[in-house]
A and B are shown apart, each in its own frame.
Chain A
């Protein structure tokens, strides 16, 4: 009797902890949704309500005006477009270039392999801010427009990561695959793109997802390089500098709506690919 009771209490405690953790992690997101559904007047109500309620009465009253304002905001829409262009290009280029390098590092024998490997590994810890002024000068001198310069500079963190993870993946593929392809008369490069590359598809998806998310979320370079070219701003910069169409005050209702709009594609990615993302995160960290 006492034993089952103790087990029951234990289980209840356990679930209480789980619920507390889940609430802690989700609450700011909930509060943003809640605020995005309020009018300016409802946002200024004190104390703020946990669901959108009409001032005066306590009826629940939800508005979608913040969302329609966000979708009519040209700066935000341009930001979305820019973010897609930048993040997709960064991902594709770093996957192509990175898997070339990774194949060389993981499967080919050559002199200088160890130093190259360490060089690239050390790059994964490279602080972006350390090259900020230098990179800004390079871009200004070469007069590269903001969007290509973001794509180029994001390689600073996506390329070493992609190369590193893909290298360890290539290393894991059996050598016999290469040998038997060579016996059949394939050149090493043919072996690479006809036999090994298809096998690394799962790793490509994983690293690609992480590269995409990192590029989508990047802020420092995006903010710096679009200083004189506001039309090239990506979503994080647009949200950080968000101002309303009319109101002088910071329109937090619209900002929250924009935040939700930006976050939802990421959440969908996470829901679909959670296993792959986890694998990529731990490959980057646990093996690093």
Chain B
């Protein structure tokens, strides 16, 4: 009876039902997996890979948006326009007697106007900045000083905000990590700045930075005996970047703190008990227990924050508009206002590569810390 129940094929050879069943099942499983993945991959293709490809391609053309003109292939011209820089030493002006001309009032050396020094062919360079070093005066010229400034500002913004947010965030996380009444409430409070749209918080801060004493910061600064109460924070070149940093730090520090808090709670408490028994003080415990164990969380939080800061857009576009750019708002205005699709694409590619480099650097660092 049992022998008859074994399935036999036409050649009277027993088949192995189990194995065939599994491979059949595995095939079905694989097919299902592909079907389930297709929608995600198709969507990502339409909105990410294809546009990214066309951005790379367009960056090599002089394409104008909404223009009937056929775009021309221009090679790397957009990139050299964006990124060309030159450093030139300024020669002091000399009078007929061979003497260096000095300003009669201040006694400072007169330099020729930089326009006359900077190259005009094949591309016109404009002044980016001047500085003095070892008694000589130098000028840095760039073919697009606005983009150079955008890169510089975005990088400065990124480095300073990430450092401040990490330090403050860690401080807040350590405080909130201890047991106290109202800890749950505190966490809700910490989610507030994160949950408010950046567009909204930018306008809230724009109002606080108003250039009269109707603005909170002018009231505060004047009470502290600093400034006349008329500081134009958002117009004054030297105040613009600090203002941007202040807004971003307010908005993102709590987010950083919440991530680090989650990391802190993964540290087993018996480690601290052991350290207590060994007589280690609080500070010692922080350096030898907390910080090393928090490192993976800290690293991931740093990656997220840095990549976010490099592509900052909302804040700069809303508060400073065209008076000062971040890299992203530069690309936006080139596209929308100037309709220079090719040029804007090249700027986007530059941003993409900068972010890419940061990502690789961080992955390397993380890889090392994992070992």
Q: Which A residues are closer than 8 A to B by beta carbons?
A: 14, 17-18, 21-22, 24-26, 28-29, 31-32, 35, 43-48, 97-98, 100-101, 103-105, 108-111, 113, 116, 119-120, 123, 125-138, 140, 152-153, 155-156, 159-160, 163, 182, 187-189, 213, 216-217, 219-220, 223-224, 227, 235-237, 239-240, 242, 252, 255-256, 259, 262-263, 266-267, 269-271, 274, 277-278, 281-282, 285-286, 288
Contact = CB atoms under 8 A, between A and B. Distances in A.
A273 B30 CA distance: 37
Interface in B48-80: 48, 50-55, 58, 65-66
13 contacts: A25-B192, A28-B193, A28-B250, A35-B207, A101-B41, A127-B307, A128-B311, A132-B348, A133-B58, A220-B313, A236-B199, A255-B203, A286-B262
Contact of A129 (B53, B210, B311): B311
Contact of B189 (A26, A126, A135, A187): A26
Contacts of A213: 195
Nearest to A100: B36
Nearest to A182: B25
B341 A133 contact: yes
Interface in B159-211: 172, 175-176, 178, 180, 182, 184, 186-193, 195-205, 207-208, 210
Contacts of A235: 197, 199
Nearest to B199: A236
Given A21-B175, A48-B216, 12 more contacts: A22-B189, A25-B254, A98-B40, A101-B37, A108-B29, A123-B48, A126-B48, A134-B50, A152-B46, A240-B202, A286-B297, A288-B304
Given A14-B175, A189-B32, A236-B200, A227 B313 contact: no
B335 interface: yes
A116 B37 contact: yes
A116 B44 CA distance: 12
A136 B40 contact: no
A-B residue pairs, 9 tightest by C-beta? A134-B51, A236-B199, A46-B213, A217-B197, A110-B33, A101-B40, A131-B51, A104-B33, A130-B352
Nearest to B205: A28
A263 B297 contact: no
Nearest to A287: B300
Given A29-B196, A48-B219, A136 B208 contact: no
B204 A131 contact: no
Contact of A269 (B26, B190, B195, B205): B195
Given A25-B189, A256-B207, A266 B195 contact: yes
Given A127-B355, A285-B300, A286-B297, A163 B192 contact: no
A85 B302 CA distance: 34
B58 to A, nearest CB: 6
A133 B328 contact: no
Given A28-B201, A109-B30, A132 B207 contact: no
A130 B200 contact: no
Q: Which of A21, A97, A111, A239 has the most CB of B within 10 A?
A: A21
Contact of A134 (B55, B212, B313): B55
Contacts of B187: 274, 278
Contact of B311 (A26, A127, A271): A127
A133 B344 contact: yes
A271 B188 contact: yes
Contacts of B54: 133-134, 137-138
Nearest to B331: A129
Contact of B341 (A100, A137, A239): A137
Given A224-B336, A266-B195, A281-B258, A120 B40 contact: yes
Nearest to A45: B214
Contact of B318 (A25, A29, A240, A271): A240
A288 B300 contact: yes
Given A133-B58, A135-B47, A281-B259, A259 B203 contact: yes
A285 B304 CA distance: 8
A187 B29 CA distance: 9
- Best-surrounded residue of B26, B178, B204, B216 (most CB of chain A within 10 A): B204
Given A111-B30, A136-B335, A286-B263, A127 B351 contact: yes
Contacts of A152: 43, 46-47
A52 B45 CA distance: 53
Nearest to B184: A274
A123 B355 CA distance: 13
B262 A282 contact: yes
B61 to A, nearest CB: 11
B18 to A, nearest CB: 14
Nearest to B214: A48
Given A152-B46, A216-B197, A288-B300, A132 B332 contact: yes
B196 A21 contact: no
B281 interface: no
B210 to A, nearest CB: 8
Given A24-B250, A48-B213, A127-B355, A285 B40 contact: no
Interface string B1-34: 0000000000000000000000001101110111
Contacts of A113: 33
Contact of A104 (B37, B65, B297): B37
A41 B362 CA distance: 52
B300 A159 contact: no
Contacts of A163: 40
A131 B196 contact: no
Contacts of A159: 40, 43-44
B158 interface: no
Contact of B32 (A44, A188, A252): A188
B188 A274 contact: yes
B255 interface: yes
A43 B191 CA distance: 29
